[in-house]
Structure 1
Amino acid sequence: MQRKSVLGQTEVNQILTAAIAEAQQSGWAVTIAVVDDGGHPLALTRLDGCSPIGAYIASEKARTAALGRRESKCYEDMVNGGRTAFLSAPQLTSLEGGLPVIVDGQVVGAVGVSGVKADQDAQVAKAGAVAI
């Protein structure tokens, strides 16, 4: 039988705290979503000034990173590299800004961020993903 860590509320709060600090340090109004390894929501925070659609996009980025077990940017790179058929893949978004949370070599969840430029979203998500 395999065993792995699971995100608890303490870890979710650590992820959010680190991601929020990164966003606020740069003055970015973003939404931050945290999901478990199955892409199910654990937390969502929309900072003041972030567009309402950010909540949807951040959640989808997080879910993509959790289910795909890789950064959502990998899918964006596939599409930009010419594999446009990937746009029809169900349950995934091909937008940068979703990163898996990895503990002991296992994906235990993911962080998705939306609200600023793609690389800035990824920067905030990374701050959260490496916080635990």
Structure 2
Amino acid sequence: MSLTSGAELPSKKYLNLAAVKKLVAVAEAEAEKANVSVTICIMDDSANILFLQKGDKASISTLEWAQRKARHAALNGSPSKNAADTVKAGHVEALAFPFFFPNQGGLPIKVDGQLIGSIAISGGPSAVDEAIGQAAIDALLK
């Protein structure tokens, strides 16, 4: 079967530059309100880095942590906190899963049930990291 027009091709939402800038602006503002210096990582749905920024006072290790949290959320379509909960429940075999990262702060970004990317925050307490990322997603999707 051949396609007769481009109209027959599926369309896909994605994180464009404007969306990334909105996510970053909100995350930076939320981090400032929470008085934490964080690293922000945004990935597309294939876990390609679209944005990575370390806060001035954030630990150098947050660069790696944020990427791992974001990769988990992008490739598993679930918050990285779910991975932490899985390990806390005693399912340590899950640590063998590729791109599994059990640390709160990485969130998938979904539109109409479709995964379009992820955001992860690292540098504050885990619950604060996740709250910053969730505020950014909420602002983007409102």
Name the count of aligned residue pairs. Answer: 132
**C-alpha distance in 1 between matches for 2:89 and 2:21:** 36
Counterpart in the other structure of 1:116:
124
**Contact 2:38-2:58 within 8 A present in 1 as well:** yes
Counterpart in the other structure of 2:65:
57
CA RMSD of aligned residues (A): 1.1
**C-alpha distance in 2 between matches for 1:67 and 1:78:** 17
What does the per-residue CA deviation read over 1:76-132, in whole Å, with 9 as the maximum and x for residues that have no partner? 111100101111222221111000111122110000111111111111111122221
**Contact 1:110-1:129 within 8 A present in 2 as well:** no
Q: TM-score, normalised by structure 2?
A: 0.89
**Structure 1 regions of 5+ residues with no counterpart?**
none
**C-alpha distance in 1 between matches for 2:55 and 2:122:** 11
**C-alpha distance in 2 between matches for 1:116 and 1:75:** 19
Question: Whose Rg is larger?
Answer: 2
- Read off the aligned partner of 1:117 and give its amino acid letter: P
- Read off the aligned partner of 2:105 and give its amino acid letter: G
Higher mean C-alpha deviation, range 13-22 or range 88-97? 88-97
**C-alpha distance in 2 between matches for 1:129 and 1:53:** 24
Higher mean C-alpha deviation, range 49-58 or range 88-97? 88-97
**C-alpha distance in 1 between matches for 2:74 and 2:61:** 20
The structure with higher relative contact order (CA 8 Å, sep 6+) is 1
Q: TM-score, normalised by structure 1?
A: 0.95
List 4+ stretches of structure 1 deviating above 6 A.
none
Counterpart in the other structure of 2:38:
30
**C-alpha distance in 1 between matches for 2:121 and 2:28:** 10
Identity over the aligned pairs, expressed in percent?
Answer: 33
**Structure 2 regions of 5+ residues with no counterpart?**
1-8
2:110 to 90, 102, 112: 102
What does the per-residue CA deviation read over 1:10-36, in whole Å, with 9 as the maximum and x for residues that have no partner? 100000111111001111011010000
**Contact 1:99-1:126 within 8 A present in 2 as well:** yes
